[in-house]
Chain A
Amino acid sequence: MDFTVLRELAAGNNWWAVWPELSLGCLALFLLVLETLLPRSAHGRIPVISIAAQLGLLVALLANFDTSYHETFNGLLFQSPMGELMRAFFLVCSILVSILGRASLRGRSVPRIEFHHIVLVVAAAMMLLVQSRNFVMLFVALETVTVGLFILVSYYRSNPKTLEAGLKYLVMGALSSALLLFGIVLLYGVAGSAGLAGRTSEGMYYVGLAAFLDVNPHNFMAAAGIVLVLSGVAFKIGAFPFQIWVPDVYQGAPTPVTAFLAVASKAAGFIVLLVLVTQVFAPYEWLVGPVLTFMAAATIIFGNLAALKQNNVKRLIGLSGVSHAGFILLAVASAAYVPSAVGAVYFYLIVYLIASFAVFGVMTVLAGPDDTEQELSDYCGLAKKSPFLAGVLACGLGSLAGIPPLAGFMGKLFVFTAAFKAGHYGLLAVAVGGVVVSIYYYFGWIRAAYFNDEAEISPETAARVAGGGMTLRVTMALLAAASIILGFYQGPLGALLAR
């Protein structure tokens, strides 16, 4: 028996290269083990253990920050500084979701440990997703993410709205996966079809496909495949015309899960899109460029106009998230021409994470027994009752609105500069209009919290403002501070992204 093939495969399996993902997976399993081993009274400690272990992992990850570029697992994955950054990004997301989840699950009769377990698994899958350089790898990682999120979205299963959201997410998620898979198959098939120049059996690898597309820049089947793949990804990021699930699912999902969807899932989608657009589909810029331009403009317009009239804050933040997806798409659309646009996407995602979780933190504290019913009127007079929560909310919303000196402004500035360099003047006009409209509804929220003297905060909400626990409060304070500091001083992050 000839072992050379196996030996070569073994040499390509650099397990050490995926230690963060492996650790997260092991931690997830360990939580389940703990649940069976520990007595019931000690189960409250398990989320704390999870959060502490993740913090340790984050420190280890940052201490061993790998700035090299090389492929691992025979080209299935690609190690890069940006990949490392996104690993840290998803780890921070899962820590924050765990912290929010701990506060949100308190006093609800649903399983606890499984929530933290699934969050860890999903975060690990997202890390793999953004590093994958192979469509099979991409699809498997994406499905792991999606299946985990199906469970999380319908986690508060006694609430009909949550179940509705779960069902909608399931159907829409399945549809988008199908579109994506169909596109992948088309691309793989066309890349391997006999009679075409540069045909290859390596069509599942980004590199192989890119080489094929380079030789055949005007193939109809390939173009159809590309559009389908883009559509599949557009579902994940909630871009027009695939944004229709966003408000219902964001409203129905438990608040921490909404945050996870809004930040981590969207970020993963954008990084995949960025890699595909700049590295694989570059020869089809004639197609991808107009498609992205249209999507960006329509997404910004739809998100902002739809958010204007929302009274439910979860729907509001969901639809404003759609408009943020539009702004990031603006940078992705510029990335083919302007290298600095790539840095702009990463920076925008980071400031979006910080600002969004600050707002979701406040929402988690103020959420009543029915997590889906959080209205703007619940925030009336918040500033008098709890200056701390109102301050965090103002920092988060201000950053989302892109008001200097908060970090969100820097994000928008980089995106706009990149778009200007790429010559997207029309899109910029749409984006500026979008920013002004967005100020209106963000300001409306802040106005409810600060300027509304007549309406008093309801007694039920007033009873909750002191809740949330110390961990969540410290986290929110840190997020608000980060939103301010990143606006003034970008430090090493700015240097990393400006390359």
Chain B
Amino acid sequence: MSIFPIDPLLLSVGAPLSVAALIAVGVPKRIVVKLAYAGFAVPALVGVYLWWAFGTAAKEAHGYAFLSDYSTGLDGFGISLKLGLNGISLPLFVLAGVVGLAAGLYALQSTAERMKTYLLLLLVMLAGLMGTFASVDIFFFYFFHELALIPTFIMVGIWGGRDRSHAAMTMTIYLTIGAMLSLLGLVAIYVKSGAGSFDLLALRDTLASHPIGEVTQKHIFGLLLFGFGVLVSLWPFHSWAPLGYGAAPSSAAMLHAGVLKKFGLYGLVQIALPLLPLGAFQWSHKLAALAAVGNVLVIGLVTIAQRDLKQMVGYSSVMHMGYAFLGVAVGSLLGVGGVVMLMVAHGLSVALLFLLSTSIHQRTNTFDMFQMGGLAQKAPVLAALFITATFASVGLPGFANFWGELPIFVALWGFSHCLTVIALTGTVISAVYGLRAAARVFFGPQTEAFARFAASKPTNDIAWSERLPALILIAALLFVGVWPKSFSTGIDHALARTPPAVVASR
């Protein structure tokens, strides 16, 4: 920690936030761009540095490192800004930094109207994301999530594609319901634990010696499950996701689908499972059935039927969340560890897909896959990147996604054979829609409409300014893919300290 003059975790939140404040105050456009580069880069650098330093850092209570505590005047309510990272939050913190950098770079090369406001909102969102995963206090965990969520609505509303007003409204209402339910769940934990504190460490200590009664646990876990579930698009509360992502501007979709959506799963893994093990056990079969049949099978088939490229990516992300829910439902060390890996992997790959979809749109002027074709001849690099992203998303070995899905499937086999078969069918489904999309967009003959558009505006290949963010994401996917241990050791330690729910109660 010595290389930073101030707390790096605070820096990762404060840097984008202060750049946003400077933009709001109204610095000249020239400086805005430079400042924005810094605002996007600092969290990523802090993330990578802390990942590197985490292995040797001194671990305090419950495997947390880099702990610090700041008062905001609410000590009387048991609320303080407590920051720290453990093996579960570290991967997501790094994910937020990396995807934030990619989304920021992509936004900076785009030609969005009202660029200053767009960058400002992205920076606020990034600050919220970094804060969410760095918070040990569950009040601030929620608070930072909302800080990141509000800019999403605004960005969809202002910079979104067709139907943006409707999409923004739908997203706002769905996600507010989810957020309110999860807030109630968190308040319930705070009140019922009797710890008098929102500090996760204090809550764990209190609940380890005085657990909440089983029935109450079941109710609170239900609140959190459905609250977080709406936020993570658990079937049948998913319909905001494809609609919202279809309309969202690319950087907002990257940050939301890639990182912010993981908030709910992270909450379940980091807060709900360790604090409410008995409640989790009560819900596990229902959750597993819902996730396997709803998210994986039904949404998987729906995804195949999509014509709109961006909506297809949106649906595929809903489907992949099903695997994560299955891992949460199983609750074993292997399953939950897989969920954390999958969150990182999916975050990187879905952000990459949204980025490339927008790049495709710029060259074809449509999201309708039936209107495209033969783009590979004009833009071979873009085609290569997109196919790489598809392979990663399908879960080919060598990419991070493989290490997320494999442990979940192995853990699921011990839980239910039938559900494992359904889940494995899902991988076939995702291969079908992924490869079909690649084939439709890049190969085969050009459609007439596309040929006319291509003739009117010469199609060029993807530029370096667009390649760079894509390459950052691919590099991260490959890095985790070939060296999963870089994260899994930490995850393993964190989960072993707090034995996951079902294992403990069986």
Given contacts A403-B150, A405-B146, contact A494 B76 (CB under 8 A): yes
Say whether A405 contacts B147, CB under 8 Å: yes
Residue contacts A-B, CB under 8 angstroms, 5 given:
A340-B77, A439-B176, A440-B173, A447-B169, A451-B165
A413 within 8 Å of B (CB atoms):
yes
- Within 8 Å of chain B (Cβ to Cβ): is A471? no
Residue contact A491 to B191, C-beta cutoff 8 Å: no
B147 touches A416 (CB 8 A): no
B407 to chain A, nearest CB (A): 34
CB-defined contacts of B172 to chain A, threshold 8 Å: 439, 443
Residues in B lying within 8 Å of A, measured CB to CB: 72-77, 139, 142-143, 146-147, 150, 153-154, 157-158, 164-165, 168-169, 172-173, 176-177, 180-181, 183-184, 187-188, 190-191
How many Å lie between the Cα of A416 and that of B147 in the bound state? 20
Q: Are B72 and A489 in contact (CB under 8 A)?
A: yes
A435-B180, A450-B158, A451-B158 known; A417 vs B191 contact (CB < 8 Å):
yes
In the assembled complex, A33 has its CB within 8 A of some CB on chain B: no
Q: How many angstroms from the CA of A416 to the CA of B191 in the assembled complex?
A: 11
Taking a contact as CB atoms closer than 8 A, the residue among A403, A436, A451, A490 that contacts B73 in the complex is A490
Shortest Cβ-Cβ A-B pairs, 5 listed = A498-B76, A404-B146, A494-B73, A491-B73, A490-B73
Whether B184 pairs with A421 at a CB distance below 8 angstroms is no
Asked if A414 lies at the interface with its beta carbon under 8 angstroms from chain B, I say yes
A107 surroundings in chain B (CB, below 8 A): none
CB distance from B78 to the nearest CB of A (A): 9
Contact B73 A489 (CB under 8 A): yes
Q: Nearest Cβ distance between residue B126 and chain A, in whole angstroms?
A: 14
A420 B147 Cβ-Cβ under 8 A: no
Q: Is A492 an interface residue (CB 8 A)?
A: yes
Give a binary string over A424-450; 1 marks a CB under 8 Å from any B CB, 0 the rest.
000010001001100110010001001
B190 touching A417, Cβ below 8 Å: yes
Q: Is there an interface contact between A404 and B147, defined as CB atoms closer than 8 Å?
A: yes
* Smallest CB separation, A179 vs chain B (Å): 36
Among candidates A436, A443, A493, residue contacting B180 with C-beta atoms closer than 8 Å: A436
In the complex, what residues of B have CB within 8 A of residue A420's CB? 184, 187-188, 191
Q: Does A495 contact B (CB under 8 A)?
A: yes
**A326 interface contact, C-beta 8 A:** no
Question: Which residues of A are found within 8 Å of B142, using beta-carbon distances?
Answer: 404
Of the candidates B75, B168, B180, B191, the one having the most CB atoms from chain A within 10 angstroms of its own CB is B180
Interface bin, chain A: 20 to 34
Q: Judge whether A235 is part of the interface by a CB distance below 8 angstroms.
A: no
Q: B184–A416 contact, CB under 8 A?
A: yes
Are A436 and B72 closer than 8 Å at their CB atoms?
Answer: no
- Which residues in chain A, 355-376, are within 8 Å of chain B measured between CB atoms? none
The chain A residue with its CB closest to the CB of B143 is A404
Chain A 121-169 interface residues, beta-carbon cutoff 8 Å to B:
none
| A309 in contact (CB, < 8 A) | no
A409–B145 Cα gap in the complex (Å)?
Answer: 13
User: If A432-B184, A436-B177, A439-B176 touch, does A488 touch B164 (CB 8 Å cutoff)?
Assistant: no
Which one of B72, B150, B157, B168 lies within 8 Å of A490 (CB-CB)?
B72
Report the minimal beta-carbon distance from A203 to chain B, rounded to whole angstroms. Answer: 37
CB pair B157–A450 under 8 Å, yes or no, is: yes
Contact B177 A495 (CB under 8 A): no
Known: A432-B184, A492-B73, A494-B74. 4 other contacts (CB 8 A): A340-B77, A420-B191, A436-B176, A489-B73
- In the assembled complex, A398 has its CB within 8 A of some CB on chain B: yes
Closest chain-A Cβ to B71's Cβ sits at a distance in Å of: 9
CB distance from B44 to the nearest CB of A (A): 23
B373 → A minimal CB distance (Å): 33
Least Cβ–Cβ distance between A81 and chain B, in angstroms:
14
- With A403-B150, A450-B157 given, is the CB distance from A488 to B72 under 8 Å? yes
Instruction: Indicate if the CB atoms of B165 and A439 lie closer than 8 Å.
Output: no
Check if B168 sits within 8 Å of A436, measured CB to CB: no
Q: Once the chains bind, are B180 and A494 in contact (CB under 8 Å)?
A: no
Structural contact, A498 and B180, CB atoms closer than 8 A: no
Min CB–CB distance B139 → chain A (angstroms): 8
A405 touching B143 in the complex, CB below 8 Å, given contacts A447-B157, A450-B154, A450-B157: yes
